[in-house]
Structure 1
């Protein structure tokens, strides 16, 4: 049993659901449709690989009828959804749409539903025209749709897909042209159009659509070339093509050529790869990070995980330190400053130079009216000043 087949498909189905919440809030019908088609496609592939692991038993016939038709519709659904998305993006980027009204939104949603779901249903109905028998069962891969390989099959199955892909690429090219033409004022233009898109979201959607269309083009062309490589069968009549319609083809692995087996194995993985591509374009944006944070908060509350409290770093205010000087009254005839007291108050404060006690011991007599100037401005005589004789006097 190939255990990697169901595991890979289930993982891809889970990944494609990760961007669902913010696309649901945006009511973006094309992206929601892509999520739905990819999710159910991966689930069906996973179930098929489990039921028919190392087996070719003809079981679950109704399931196979539904699964094979869904596979046919899914091959048309992805190009159709990307086409709707590119049409909407091109309309926003151009000057044709100034503002989006409520009526315009309703009409656009109806058009998106018709393209994303109506066109695949039409593709399923047209496939019945070239459905030679009920379905096929391939060992390890399960049921696959059966197609009568003819000119009618090319016109009804593969050509419509290529037409939708080409239209998508044309609208994507026009959108990129408008984007780069107005790249300097594009954010303001999106605000003027009353759109919920930002330039980063716009470019992400556009890149996703272009990447998916190149991938779909490669798969469609390669599948058509390998399927029709063995030659086309003649279209004789409706009755001839649908004769023995209830037949179920069975293909054990031992009877399948190696090249055909490898291609079948690759075709299985194309659907999970497409889902991973879609996930990668939306899993690392700003919206995704917000959703991850919200989910982690819910899980933390459910599991009762305490939240880390970050220590609050208070800013230390700068308080200037000023020396405090005690003034002591020694006599009634004046004021005296005790230099020793001052020096004791200045410990670890602003240093004073010179550091001698006599420098700040000047005695100022009061004004007696005999001198012709104010004694407050009388300076000490040079004989009273004390200067250090050597470096030890500085102490």
Structure 2
């Protein structure tokens, strides 16, 4: 298990980044944000698994201060990204959005994917009873003072976003079933940024990620609040001994709590794998792979490509060998160009 903990996040990171070129061209804020949050998750989990392999020692404290805050933001950012995607797919199913998105929708996407998570990262300090905790093999995790403010700030906010994403997905699926012919016609238009297959993949992936988020939030909350809530008296009481760092060996956890901890950990690589399955093995991805391989061969290994550039025919590359077209004028009826010398002088010679 420790070996898998170290390898799985880096493999998942590579799979997620493979899909980046295509989504970068499309410039969909929600999907790019999902890639960013999943990549941050995998980097944090992979580095933590390497540093705290078989130990719970206090080391890399500044790293832990940073990654625990990022994890708080990612826990809210991913449901927010799913909500943005679900809203857009719902608008397309209703025939309200087939052109590039306006600044209002882009601003809302940025707020849900990045603005709101940053607010939650700042509010986490309210329920941060001490600096952070370190768990054997898993590494540093955020410290949370389990109380009613932590439920409102961390759990309810993420749960509402995930539920809204499922609601918009359900509405989009219902409308898509009723207007499937009209939606297919719209998606097949030349100015459409989505193909029918890509639309369906986005819909399924959003629904799966939204459901997965709801399940994970529910499992995490049930594990945290099993022993009840701690009393919330005042700020000084909650933040007393704030510099404390908790250290926990795996043997100190009850078996159900340890299983829940590993389930939440493995959820990130599995989410990354599902994202790759939807966008990393399609026809669009294969074209990206061929283009990347051609670039590596041309730039790094200095190989000259024998393939014609996209959009050029053999007539464009070799016009001298192009066959005559309908507008071809035989040579014997073309006007002759002026000669570059004097014919009379040539005849005198």
Give the TM-score, by structure 1 length: 0.73
Secondary structure of 2:13's counterpart equals helix
- Number of the residue aligned with 1:264: 261
Aligned to 1:277: 274
CA distance in 2, matches of 1:141, 1:273: 16
Tell whether the 8 Å contact from 1:133 to 1:246 is kept in structure 2 after alignment. Answer: yes
Give the conservation status (yes or no) of the 8 Å contact 2:186–2:192: no
Alpha-carbon offset, residue 300 of structure 1: 4.7
Match of 1:227 in 2: 224
Q: Which residue of 2 aligns with 1:58?
A: 58
Q: Are the counterparts in 1 of residues 68 and 140 from structure 2 also a CA contact under 8 Å?
A: yes
**Residues 276-312 of structure 1: CA deviation (Å, up to 9, x unaligned):** 1111111122211211222333345455789999xxx
Taking a change above 3 Å as real, the CA distance of residues 179 and 307 of structure 1, as seen in their structure-2 partners, is: same
Residue 76 (structure 1) aligned with residue 76 (structure 2)? yes
Aligned counterparts of 1:120 and 1:10: Cα–Cα separation in 2 = 24
Counterpart residue number, 1:137: 134
Structure 1 outlier segments of 4+, above 6 Å = 304-309
TM-score, normalised to structure 2, is 0.82
User: Residues 95 and 183 of structure 2 are in contact (CA less than 8 Å); yes or no, is this contact kept in structure 1?
Assistant: no
Aligned to 1:157: 154
Deviation at 1:85, TM superposition (A): 0.9
Question: How many residues end up aligned between the 2 structures?
Answer: 306
Are residues 1:294 and 2:283 paired? no
- On the 8 A contact 1:92/1:193 being kept in 2, the answer is no
Which is richer in helix?
A: 2
What secondary structure, in the 3-state scheme, does the structure 1 residue paired with 2:290 have? helix
Q: Distance in 2 between matches of 1:262 and 1:183?
A: 43
- Deviations 1:225-268 (Å, cap 9, x if unpaired)? 11111111111112111111111111123323333222222222
CA distance in 2, matches of 1:253, 1:166: 33
Contact persistence 1:150–1:234 (CA under 8 A):
yes
| Alignment check: 8 A CA contact 1:138 1:251 kept | yes
Q: 1:203 aligns with which of 200, 205, 210?
A: 200
- Distance in 2 between residues matched to 1:211 and 1:192, nearest whole Å: 28
Which of structures 1 and 2 has the larger relative contact order (alpha carbons within 8 angstroms, sep 6+)?
2
Q: Which of 175, 190, 205 is matched with 1:178 structurally? A: 175
Pairwise CA RMSD: 2.1
Pair 1:100-2:99 in alignment: yes
Separation (CA, whole Å) in 1 of partners of 2:251 and 2:218 = 27
Q: How far apart, in 2, do the equivalents of 1:211 and 1:70 lie? A: 23
Shift of 1:7: 0.6
- What is the alpha-carbon distance in structure 2 between the residues aligned to residue 284 and residue 52 of structure 1? 34
2:326 — aligned with what?
A: none
